Amino acid sequence: MTTAWSERFARRTHGMQSSAIREILKVTQQPDVISFAGGLPAPELFPVAEVQAACARVLQERGRQALQYTITEGYPPLRQYIVEKMARYGIPADPDNVLITSGSQQALDLIGKVLVDEGDPVVVEAPTYLGALQAWQPYGPRFIPVPIDNDGMRVDLLEPILKRHRPKLMYALPNFQNPAGTTLSRERRERLVHLASDYGVPLIEDDPYGELRYEGEHLPPLIALDCQKLVAEGKAGSDGLLRGDVIYLSTFSKTLAPGLRLGWIIAPVEVVQKLVQAKQGADLHTSTFAQMVACEVVRGNFLENHVRRIRAFYRQRRDAMLAALEQYCPPGVTWTEPQGGLFLWVRLPEGLDAEVVLRDALAQKVAFVPGRSFYADGSGYNTMRLNFSNAEPDRIVEGVRRLARAIERHLEPVHVAR
């Protein structure tokens, strides 16, 4: 008997598809393409020499440990480092609140596995991080998109949704959001944390870019506000342990190197314990070696100093892109002005489809990701995400010039009419 494998796949796979980004990235492998499509850090910033020195030290001093299995929770000194790092951002974590993950993509998968039942309503921003939609889709949520504006998620629209749908969780990227580059305002942060607590809805705070702020004032993480609120209300507990409704995620991918695949989760102890059980089944633990090497590289103040360099570097690229958009884009095209991160968001005039523009742009050797992929409901046909971290400033200017031309061609009356 011959059965097609496609007939054997589980129902949860039916919505799975390869990320549109990964498909576009294949085109952008050609060296003459100017790509705004990926979300890749600039490799010229990777601390290669420091990683090499760390590998040598780790293997010389603790080689057997580095190559052996370790505990699922993560390498204890790395968890301790993260505790201290988090404290600087007002997050009162204990090592038992920290789980090391294989990139923060795994954090999203584990959270979906542990919290999302089939049919559960899940509030997401519109647009939101594509990888979260991909991670959670197999667990069968019903996504409820909430629009964003220049100040991030429209928190003012949330309460009726919370009342009506009683979501299983809410998902927010407060800093320099992927894809839109927007930042949630201080007022909205306060309000969002109160709503999560008033309605008892877990809030997932995804913060891969928080350290990459190029201007403006640092805003407190949602989890820090939630902890402050519990203290103010006398509900913080006498053990001093982190509790509350927020689960915080971050990563070393944007500050150290994505190729190590290291992220972390900060959550109440009982959540970490459940996530640990899920992680045991998923990959036993994250690479011992990668954890020990990263821990060796980042300790002391290396990472803080390194991130200062990254900020100066990306800020220049962001500025180049903003200036080029200003110079070349036809009227009717608008974009966000991110205070940090890797991305900005372009909105085309109504009626113009970014996927049509993409075909033309690719012919001109420029790539970007059409915005539709970032909407749980497939809307956003006239939007696009531009990445500015992975090309040199003069290439950015040239790329934007070509892209603006491609847009312009489609704005001629015959195209607008379609």
283-312: contacts with a second copy (CB under 8 A): 283-290
C-alpha atoms less than 13 angstroms from C-alpha of 244 in its C-beta half-sphere: 33
- Rule CB under 8 A: say whether 72 interacts with a second copy: yes
Instruction: Decide whether 278 or 356 has the Cβ nearer to a second copy.
Output: 278
Region binding a second copy by CB under 8 A among candidate stretches 50-58, 215-223, 330-338, 346-354: 50-58
Asked whether the beta carbons of 165 and 40 are under 8 A apart, the reply is no
Residues 127, 138, 145, 399: which binds a second copy (CB under 8 A)?
138
- Output the smallest distance, CB 357 to a second copy, in A: 25
- Backbone dihedral angles phi then psi of residue 88, each to the nearest 5 degrees: -65, -20
DSSP H helical ranges for 7-126: 20-27, 48-66, 76-88, 103-115
Q: How many residues does the chain have?
A: 418
Query: In the complex with a second copy, which residue's Cβ is closer, 196 or 397?
Result: 196
Strand bridging mode 169-172 / 121-126: parallel
Looking at beta carbons only, is 133 or 400 nearer to a second copy? Answer: 133
Q: What 3-state DSSP class applies to 148?
A: strand
Restricting to residues 309-348, name those near a second copy by CB under 8 A.
Answer: none
Residue 287 dihedral angles phi and psi, to the nearest 5°: -40, 120
Of 107, 91, 85, the residue nearest 264 (C-alpha): 107
Sign of CA pseudo-dihedral 378, 373, 261, 314: negative
Whole-number minimum distance, CB 136 to a second copy, in Å? 8
Distance CA 90, CA 244 (A): 14
Beta carbon nearer to a second copy, 199 or 302 = 199
In the region spanning residues 386 to 405, those forming contacts with a second copy, defined by CB under 8 A, are none
Give the C-alpha distances (Å, rounded to integers) separating 236 from 92, 230, 231, 404: 11, 5, 5, 53
Which residues contact residue 144 at a Cβ distance below 8 angstroms, ignoring those fewer than 6 apart?
121, 122, 123, 124, 161, 165, 167
Q: Which is nearer to a second copy, 278 or 362 (CB)?
A: 278
- Nearest approach, Cβ of 407 to a second copy (angstroms)? 28
Nearest to 19 by CA among 134, 105, 149, 118: 134
30 binds a second copy (CB under 8 A): no
**Closer CB to a second copy, 30 or 334, in the complex:** 30
* Closer to a second copy by Cβ: residue 168 or 317: 168
> How many residues interact with a second copy (rule CB under 8 A)?
90
Q: Which of residues 240-279 bind a second copy (CB under 8 A)?
A: 253, 257-261, 268, 270-271, 273-274, 276-278
- Please, what is the minimum distance in Å from the beta carbon of residue 363 to a second copy? 24
3-state secondary structure of 417: coil
What's 245's DSSP letter? S
| Cβ distance to a second copy smaller for residue 38 or 152 | 38
Using an 8 Å Cβ cutoff, are 130 and 19 in contact?
yes
**Amino acid identity of 163?**
K
Least distance from a second copy to the Cβ atom of residue 271, Å? 5
CB of residue 396 to a second copy, shortest distance in Å: 19
- Tell which positions 155-214 bind a second copy, by CB under 8 A: 168, 197-200, 202
Instruction: Report the distance separating Cα 307 and Cα 43, nearest Å.
Output: 14
Dig out the tokens for 355 from the structure. 């996927």
Residue 357: strand, helix, or coil: helix
Binding a second copy (rule: CB under 8 A), the pick from 20, 27, 33, 55 is 55
Instruction: Give yes or no for a contact between 208 and 179, defined as CB atoms under 8 angstroms apart.
Output: no
Residue 222 in the binding site for a second copy (CB under 8 A): no
Shortest separation between residue 3's beta carbon and a second copy, angstroms: 4
Q: Which of 116, 126 has the CB closer to a second copy?
A: 116
Among 282, 307, 323, 362, the residue binding a second copy under the rule CB under 8 A is 282
356 touches a second copy by CB under 8 A:
no
Residues 74-133 that bind a second copy (CB under 8 A): 102-103, 105-106, 108-109, 113-117, 120, 131
Nearer to a second copy, 7 or 217 (CB): 7
Distance of closest approach, residue 413 Cβ to a second copy, in angstroms: 41
Closer residue to a second copy, CB minimum distance, 6 or 238: 6
Q: How far is the CB of 279 from a second copy (least distance, A)?
A: 10
Q: Are 172 and 205 in contact (CB under 8 A)?
A: yes
By CB under 8 A, is residue 56 in contact with a second copy?
Answer: yes
Query: Does a cis peptide bond (omega within 30 degrees of 0) precede residue 179?
Result: yes
